[in-house]
Amino acid sequence: MKTYLYPKQEEWAALTQRPVQKLDQLRAGVQQTFDLVQQSGDAALIELAAKFDKAALQSVWVTDEEVAAAIPQVSEELKEAIELAYSNIMRFHEAQREPVQRVETMSGVTCWRKSVGIQKVGLYIPGGSAPLFSTLLMLGVPAQIAGCREIILATPPSADGSINATILYTANKLGIKRILKAGGAQAIAAMAFGTQTVPAVDKIFGPGNQYVTAAKQMVTQMGVAIDMPAGPSEVLVIADDSADADFVAADLLSQAEHGPDSQVVFVSNSENLLKNVQAAVVDQVAKLPRQTVAEQALNNSIGVVLSTLEDALAFSNLYAPEHLILSVDAPEVLAGQVTQAGSVFMGHFSPESVGDYASGTNHTLPTNGYARNYSGVSLDSFVKKITFQQLTRESLERIGPAVEIMAEAEGLHAHKNAVTIRLTKK
């Protein structure tokens, strides 16, 4: 972790730059995958599973028998933990339902807005060394609540062609029946364009590697929506002398272990705390199974000491972190000044990992500075808001002349006539 003591404000912008994502260099390869899937459909998915996952698939779909066989493989302890997380995520997202409110903007003119679930959605869940069944909960629960008619889950198979048992158990709990054995850009292509057996979806959700990220961004230019631009995971921790250095180090490493391109940032008003945190990081990282990954991430990470916590918060707002931890004595004061962050964790006993799994908030969050203009996934991500309006003849007589004048001023005479013909015809 590189350290910076009291950098001047004009130097902050350079310090908050993320490592450059070279997605443009991946586009040609991703386009080849797109072309193959569009040309050969399911056969392309089987071919690419053999190439990238070393799996010899007979079918691209998980069978009911595979799901049934997976359920006993999940320990009762883990099932109980998933149940607790599911309950909290469900409760938090249920509260986001928006009731229909009819508004009479003037006498006889009634307007309202209704939330309607996106009809077909695709959920991409990474597999490999960290099968993210927690992300399936974060995406599947709001999709359930929104009433999405069709949910396709795509996740890469292991070399024996199987899907992680906990992912299958979680999908079963969520009522997701269609589980596609596909990873990488080919999974995004299948859900975006459709194949012989995979229906094309309207919106794609979920994290992934750089190829998945590039593929998701590319399909947005082809009429398919995505949850948000995504990049490597990140956390920024603001801490003062009331913080426990061991707690802070654990929070930093909880993000660093995600991947070698993850970024962690520590900001404090205490040089002594910075030294203690660095020592705690060295001690804890040596004990992690993913030590090599975490150490690579730490090479991209920084520790900054500034004069005040207010400066630290201003630095954080400039960085716009995916996760912001306020490990300070009075987090409520700083929290009120947060303007740019994906999700905020307040106080010494609110580790970011609780939000990742079970507190109820969604962990699918904007990264790479997109917290400046994107929200994390919520119930709203899975619905469209459709507006309605209804007028009586009397109200059209009152509002119509204003519409006629405005339409004529814009030179749109057919617009004007749509009102005039109603007002003049008896």
Positions at the binding site? 124, 186, 209, 233, 255, 258, 323, 356, 410, 415
Residues forming beta bridges with residue 154, ordered by sequence position: 124, 180
Residues of the binding site for Zn(2+): 255, 258, 356, 415
404 is catalytic: no
Backbone angles phi, psi at 303, to 5 degrees: -120, 130
Q: Which residue numbers belong to the known binding site for substrate?
A: 233, 255, 258, 323, 356, 410, 415
In three-state secondary structure terms, 381 is helix
120 close to 390: Cβ distance less than 8 angstroms: no
State yes or no: is 323 an active-site residue.
yes
From CA 314, how far away is CA 142, in angstroms rounded? 33
Nearest-angstrom CA–CA distance, 83 and 239: 33
Name residue 346's beta-bridge partners: 326
- The enclosing H or E element of 84 equals helix 76-94
Kindly state the DSSP code that residue 379 receives in the 8-state scheme.
G
Q: Which of 234, 257, 322, 404 is catalytic?
A: 322
Q: Using an 8 Å Cβ cutoff, are 345 and 324 in contact?
A: yes
User: Which residue out of 93, 234, 257, 323 is catalytically annotated?
Assistant: 323
Pairing of strands 109-117, 383-391: antiparallel
Q: How far apart, in whole angstroms, are the C-alpha atoms of residue 154 and residue 163?
A: 10
With residue 354 as reference, give the H or E element that holds it.
helix 352-357
Backbone angles phi, psi at 235, to 5 degrees: -145, 145
Q: Are strands 109-117 and 103-106 parallel, antiparallel or unpaired?
A: antiparallel
CB 135 within 8 A of CB 163: no
Among all residues, which ones are annotated catalytic? Answer: 322-323
